[in-house]
Structure 1
Amino acid sequence: MSVQTIIDTLEKLEKVHRSLLELALRKTEVIKKGDMVELDQILKNEQSHVAAIETIEKQRQVLVTDYLKSKGIDFSDIPTVADLIEAAHTENERELLQQVRERLVQVVGELKSQNDLNQKLVYQSLQFVNMSLEMIRPQNEQINYSGNQVKGQNSAPKRSIFDSQA
């Protein structure tokens, strides 16, 4: 087995992660616009990307495991690319593996940052929706016979927006 097969698999993994990053960037704009139909489509597309990543990652693990076993190297956990870099024959193989690994780590870091931003945007949107609902929800006020508001706790249960009259 050659290291080139593993490098090709890592490059596929990088490519799918880059595509997922592009989706995350597009999702940011869609969240800002509030386009729920397009957001739903992006989420479905993301799910297929994640499934592809899981499949490629399993392939990578099998390839690396087989390669390390063929070299007689023992490992206790799931073998990593770092383990593979140490076991590579030539300096050229080590260098290629290191480059692919660095690119993959960079893309995953960018993806994590973009997903964090998207999560914050969705949370802010949710807060805005809740605030808007609170503003249009009728407020229960207790009024005594003189027309003044009664001070103290309102013991009446809160009414939802669906309880209000048009």
Structure 2
Amino acid sequence: MKPRFMAFNKRVQDRLKSSDDITYCCELKLDGAAVSLMYENGLLVQAATRGDGTTGENITANVRTIRAIPLRLKGDNIPARLEVRGEIFMTQRGFEKLNEEARRTDGKVFANPRNAAAGSLRQLDPRITAKRPLTFFCYGFGLLEGGEMPHSHMGASATV
């Protein structure tokens, strides 16, 4: 292992007051729009931007058009209420295609994929959002009622 990582690992062990092996989970940093998806009995009932961390913007109608987000959860033991947190983003390739089309039709050209994703979620017409190349990455859970929360981040990642 690299010396810098070993030093980091030692600091973590010291802080935890533990010499046990530590398992790390690494994820890509996606630059999009942080969202909260609320499911009740497996059905998507609300989607909101994370806003200031407490209050966000209701984007449910637009999120329902994103193919990567299930409208109904599948599987056994679906909780009564579940908040899924994640990032709605646009790949670089999708962003480039969107801007190419905008240039051809004298439409709005976006500065970067993050702005394109955020702007797509704020459309007043969900049909416009449906045409945008948006995708979703889940990175965790918030509220969970009527189910058991995974004991680790890796467990949560495996759940979704």
Q: Which has the larger radius of gyration?
A: 1
Q: Which has the higher strand share?
A: 2
Give TM class, smaller chain: under 0.3
Q: Which has the higher helix share?
A: 1
TM-score (normalizing by structure 2) = 0.25
TM-score (normalizing by structure 1) = 0.25
